[in-house]
Amino acid sequence: MEKVSDALYEFEGIKNGISKRTIQSDLQLMRSNKLGYNAPIVVMHRKFYTYEDPNYSISNSPISIGDMQKIKEAVEVLKHVNGFSSFDEMSDIVARLENSLHSKKDNSPSIIQMESNKLLKGLSFISSLHQAIREQIPLLISYQSFKATQKQDLVFSPYLLKEYRNRWFLIGHHKKSEGLMTLALDRIDAIEEMGKNSYKEYTGIDFERYFSDTIGVTKTQKDRGHRVILQINARNAPYVETKPLHSSQQILDKKEDGSILIRIDVVLNFELEREILGFGESIKVLSPRNLQTRIIRRLEAANQLYAEKSDNKTPTSTNN
């Protein structure tokens, strides 16, 4: 650790040093075939690491410069998922691989930029929650929803981390409730690991199918998809055709004026309503009737806000 830390400072200007965990992870990676090394690392006298073949060197890397560029681009894509510390470790591994290839570092700007929100709360929990899901560890979660007046402690078996529009959610089972429960990470205050004997395994359908009829994350196990018919005006029709609102989208009709009728089969939830409202006057709900009624009420309520503002406006006086 001391030797590597000294080298990092000398060649990279990195003053933070390196952890034992990173050293162990790198040794394991070198032994594996993930990067093509298969390094013959053996332990001597339960104390020292060495190569079984004294002529071996990772400098004789089978990875080409082209392969290295592909790895770097993949890491850049993964890095937009804030909160996963393992991706930061991958960036460090790529940097050391570059050195092993004797490839000159360039400071060229990133050519991939993805949407992210680093100010969003709760991202620091992602790595811990990911580990708890993988190792089936129950958690005591201090949580306060938007509607609650105070925090509550939940004994929670975590099953899935799901991202929607840069917000992260944890899906799992709360000990005192039936079915699945969805928690927003930005409403979590603290998490604490519990004994594994209180973990409740998930026995439902796989989550790929569970959310296949859902826009967003709001769904109960009893919810089912509904046939939703929408009319899109001519200006936005090409946008909706090339970027479907949902994977189930079908074009039912194309009108002479350029507008289209589409069908999606989805759960009627808050995220669906927000998606529709986001199109404003460009979209009209034709069915089902209960969804149409809800959208009308929300648009009327929004219009009333502006009507009240207009009524309260004080006229500007003029001098004749």
| Whole-number pLDDT of residue 221 | 87
What's the CATH code of the domain at 129?
Answer: 2.30.30
Domain that holds residue 260: 226-309
Domain co-membership, 149 together with 197: yes
Boundary-marking domain end, from 171, 204, 237 = 204
| Whole-number pLDDT of residue 211 | 95
- The closest of 182, 178, 176, 171 to 206, measured between CA atoms, is 171
| Whole-number pLDDT of residue 213 | 96
Q: Which residues of the chain have pLDDT under 50?
A: 102-105, 320
Domain co-membership, 183 together with 232: no
| Whole-number pLDDT of residue 160 | 96
Contact 181, 173 (CB under 8 A): yes
Q: Is residue 116 part of a domain?
A: no
| Whole-number pLDDT of residue 295 | 97
Burial class from Cβ neighbours inside 10 Å (0-12, 13-18, 19+) for residue 201 reads exposed
What's the CATH code of the domain at 253?
Answer: 3.30.70
The residues with which 284 forms a beta bridge, in sequence order, are 231
Contact 156, 172 (CB under 8 A): yes
Q: Is residue 155 part of a domain?
A: yes
Domain co-membership, 6 together with 95: yes
Domain co-membership, 261 together with 195: no
Q: Is residue 19 part of a domain?
A: yes
Evaluate the CA torsion angle 272, 274, 278, 282 in order and state its sign: positive
| Whole-number pLDDT of residue 103 | 46
Count of domains forming the chain? 3
- Looking at residue 141, what DSSP letter applies? E
pTM, 2 dp: 0.67
Structure tokens at 141: 């979660």
| Whole-number pLDDT of residue 104 | 45
Buried b / exposed e over 73-103, threshold 16 CB at 10 Å, is eebbeebeebbbeebebbebbbeebbebbee
Helix 20-31 to helix 85-100 angle, to the nearest 10 degrees? 60
Q: Is residue 230 part of a domain?
A: yes
Q: Is residue 105 part of a domain?
A: no
Q: Is residue 118 part of a domain?
A: no
| Whole-number pLDDT of residue 30 | 86
| Whole-number pLDDT of residue 33 | 77
Q: Is residue 194 part of a domain?
A: yes
Domain co-membership, 138 together with 179: yes
Boundary-marking domain end, from 204, 237, 265 = 204
Give the model confidence (pLDDT) of 49-69 as tens digits. Answer: 999 988 888 777 666 666 767
Q: Is residue 268 part of a domain?
A: yes
